Amino acid sequence: MTGTAERPKKNLLEIIRGFACEWERPWSAAFFALILYGLLAAARGGVLAASVAPYYNYLADAFLHGQLNFRLIPPSIHDLVQYKGALYPYWGPLPAVLMMPLVLIGGVGASDVLFTVLIAAVNVGLVAAVLRAAQGRGVLQLKTFQRGLLVIFFAMGTVHLVLAPLGRVWFTGQLVGFLFAGLAYWAAFSLRGWKAFLLAGAAMASVVATRNHMLLVGIFPAWFLLHEHWHLRWKQLIRLCLLAALPILLMLALLGWYNWARFANPLEVGLPYHNMDANFWLTYGRYGAFNLHYLPVNFYYQYIFYPFPFRALSTMGGSLFLLSPLFFAALWALWKERRSTHAWVLLAAILAVDIPILLLMGTGWVQFGPRYTLDFTMPLLLLTGMGIREWRGRLIALLVAVSVLQYVAGYIFLSAQI
């Protein structure tokens, strides 16, 4: 009887293992994520409907008509820049460029939700591809099952789940930024020679055109490329570095022109003129957009605050580690892999991106979980992968399950609030 009783249990474990291994495959992971995020979006109001803040649609429409300011006025102008009688967004313009074909077909009423769901699904497949490539280059030493669990964790147990089905300019921009950051990591791991440098540089240029502070997430791929090509003659290495830097410099010049054409200042993105929420008026007037004054509050809502049980403050954020406890493995990696340069460079990339986030005047409200941490989730996932190398599969699966349950509940809560 004992053998008969254990057989269903063993079969269940094999099913779970097989399911996780399917998520390790990039195309399968992207397909599963597309179904998941599409269903969540459909349950909320439809994949083909525009969100309440589809501002990239309006910017895409402006570009299609040869202008930089909005040609049409959206129903709400919350968070938009009002300057000399014209409306502009202060966010990077690349997502709007990507949306131009969709807006050309459907106008400003095109579904930014659909666009965001598609980008999010690609992100999940890209994470699977990056983990595979990192394994191939010796950065990670994980089993297929472990990598699959990491992909599931990213797709359903981090802030990515909350952002993916909702559209909105803020969430769309973050997901596009992650996409190109992930592409830079994939290029560094998967390619060699000039192709690796050029594609990584082009990807980071795209990151700059979406969320400029995320340029710092490129610390690790830049270091990794140098590390892998250090055997070359210094003249060859310099040429490769210039090849990577060229698209970034060109993008910075283009963005400088873009800002000058809008605000007569190449460094001005429009924050002083944006229609911010009334909750920020007093603090912005006193401390500006970035200040050490914001550090305690941001740190609390990003790393300490626990949003359960749900209450009014739950939309302020939530602890990165308590909501996604598998990320504790990243801290373990810093000790276990303390002699690995990879681990410390990954940490440097995380901290470099997190500094401006912690100094920003807002926590990311309205949100569930610390949504700004998505900006450094790629290096954080790799560090987490280094940490779980010797962990038992059941422990990893348990932490993934806890993360997924919390974020599914959080998504349901947030979608009822916004």
C-beta of residue 214 within 8 angstroms of C-beta of residue 354: no
Between CA 346 and CA 260 the distance in angstroms is: 35
**pTM to 2 decimal places:** 0.96
| Alpha-helical runs (H) found in 229-264 | 234-263
Q: Is residue 318 part of a domain?
A: yes
Give the pLDDT confidence score for residue 43 in this predicted structure. Answer: 93
Give the CA radius of gyration of the chain.
Answer: 22
How far apart (Å, rounded) are the C-alpha atoms in residues 370 and 320?
Answer: 6
Q: How far, in Å, are 19, 148, 310 from residue 13 at the CA level?
A: 10, 14, 33
Cα 49 to Cα 412: distance, rounded to the nearest angstrom: 19
Q: How far is CA 54 from CA 80, 176, 376, 394, in A?
A: 11, 14, 24, 42
In a domain, 4, yes or no: no
H runs (alpha helix) in 157-289: 159-163, 169-190, 193-208, 219-228, 234-263, 281-287
In angstroms, the CA 36 to CA 81 distance is: 34
The answer to the question of residue 1 being in a domain is: no
User: Are the beta carbons of 225 and 188 closer than 8 angstroms?
Assistant: yes
Encoded tokens for 159: 């802030």
- Give burial (CB, 10 Å; 0-12/13-18/19+) of 390: exposed
Whether residue 158 is contained in a domain is answered as yes
Instruction: Report residue 362 as tokens.
Output: 């807002």
Is residue 159 included in any domain, yes or no? yes
Q: Do 88 and 64 contact (CB within 8 A), yes or no? A: no
**Strand, helix or coil for residue 132:** helix
Segment-wise mean pLDDT, segments of 10 residues, the chain, 418 residues: 59 82 97 98 92 98 98 96 97 99 98 98 99 98 97 99 98 99 99 98 99 98 97 96 98 99 97 92 94 98 98 98 99 96 98 98 96 99 98 96 99 94
Least Cα distance to 33 among 163, 168, 146 occurs for: 163
The reply to whether 11 falls in a domain is: no
List beta partners, residue 82: 87
Say how many domains are in the chain: 1
Strands (E), 288-413: none
C-beta separation of 65 from 99 below 8 A: no
Coil/strand/helix, residue 83: strand
What burial letters (b/e) apply to 220-248, b meaning 16+ CB within 10 Å?
bbbbbbbeebeeeeeeebeebbebbeebb
Who contacts 123 (Cβ-Cβ below 8 Å, separation ≥6)?
33, 160, 175, 178, 179, 182
Please give the backbone phi and psi of residue 320, each rounded to the nearest 5 degrees, phi first.
Answer: -55, -45
Residue 328: domain span: 17-417
Query: Domain for residue 7, yes or no?
Result: no
Residue 229 lies in a domain: yes
Distance CA 374, CA 118 (A): 17
